A = this chain, B = another copy of it.
Amino acid sequence: MTYTVGETAKKMNVTASTLRYYDKEGLLPFLERSGGGIRIFDENALSWLQMIECLKKTGMPIKDIKYFMDYCMEGDSRIDERLAIIRSQRDAMIHKMQEMQEMIDMLEYKCWYYETAKEAGTCAIHDDIQPESVPAEYHKYLQHQS
The residue of chain B having its C-beta at the shortest distance from the C-beta of A56 within the complex is B103
Given contacts A79-B118, A123-B76, contact A87 B111 (CB under 8 A): yes
A146 is contacted by which of B72, B117, B143 (Cβ under 8 Å)? B72
Q: How far, in Å, is A68 (CB) from chain B's closest CB?
A: 10
A104 interface neighbour in B51, B94, B104, B146, Cβ under 8 Å:
B94
Chain B neighbourhood of A43, CB < 8 A: 143
User: Is residue A121 contacting chain B, with contact meaning CB distance below 8 A?
Assistant: yes
Residue-wise, chain A 69-101 has the 8 Å CB interface mask toward B (1 for contact) of 000100110011011001101100110110111
> What's the least CB distance linking A75 to chain B, in Å?
7
User: What is the size category of the interface that chain A forms with chain B?
Assistant: 35 or more
The answer on a CB contact under 8 Å between B89 and A100 is no
Neighbouring B residues of A94 by C-beta, 8 Å = 104
- Chain B residues lying within 8 Å of A99, measured Cβ to Cβ, are 57
A118: min CB distance to chain B, Å? 5
A-to-B contact residues, CB < 8 Å: 43-44, 47-48, 50-51, 54, 57-58, 72, 75-76, 79-80, 82-83, 86-87, 89-90, 93-94, 96-97, 99-101, 103-104, 106-108, 110-111, 114-115, 117-118, 121-124, 143-146
For the complex of A and B, the 5 pairs showing the least CB-CB separation, nearest first, are: A83-B114, A90-B107, A86-B110, A76-B122, A54-B106
22 A-B residue pairs with CB within 8 Å:
A43-B143, A44-B145, A47-B144, A48-B146, A51-B106, A51-B144, A54-B103, A57-B103, A58-B104, A75-B123, A76-B124, A79-B114, A79-B118, A79-B123, A83-B111, A87-B111, A90-B107, A94-B104, A96-B100, A97-B101, A97-B104, A100-B100
